């Protein structure tokens, strides 16, 4: 079960770093509207909740494939959130 623990840590670290990057952007750009950056934070939190719920799902037949798909989803959604941070004006 160490794999599950590491996957949960990865989810936490990746999305936590994304949220931290948004806070750094907000701190560096105090003169700009934070509506878009707050939306990125909300999306990161929703993604975290959804991925953790999938990790904790016990009704899975092929656990290895299930966890691989969660890891791939984390990478995809993480990249999308980073792109949104890069586009903040």
pLDDT at 2: 58
CA-angle at 43, arms to 53 and 73, nearest 5°: 55
Q: Report whether pLDDT(1) > 70.
A: no
Note the pTM of the prediction, 2 decimals. 0.91
User: Which tens digits make up the pLDDT trace of 37-88?
Assistant: 999 999 999 999 999 999 999 999 999 999 999 999 999 999 999 999 999 8
Contact predicate 1/45, CB 8 Å = no
């Amino acid at each position: 079960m160490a794999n599950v623990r590491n996957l949960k840590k990865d989810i936490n670290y990746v999305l936590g770093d994304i949220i931290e990057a948004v806070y750094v952007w907000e701190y560096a750009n105090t003169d700009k509207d934070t509506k878009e950056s707050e939306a990125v934070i909300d999306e990161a939190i929703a993604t975290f909740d959804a991925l953790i719920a999938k990790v904790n799902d016990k009704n899975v037949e092929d656990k290895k494939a299930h966890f691989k798909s969660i890891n791939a989803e984390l990478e995809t959604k993480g990249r999308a959130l980073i792109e949104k941070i890069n586009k903040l004006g």
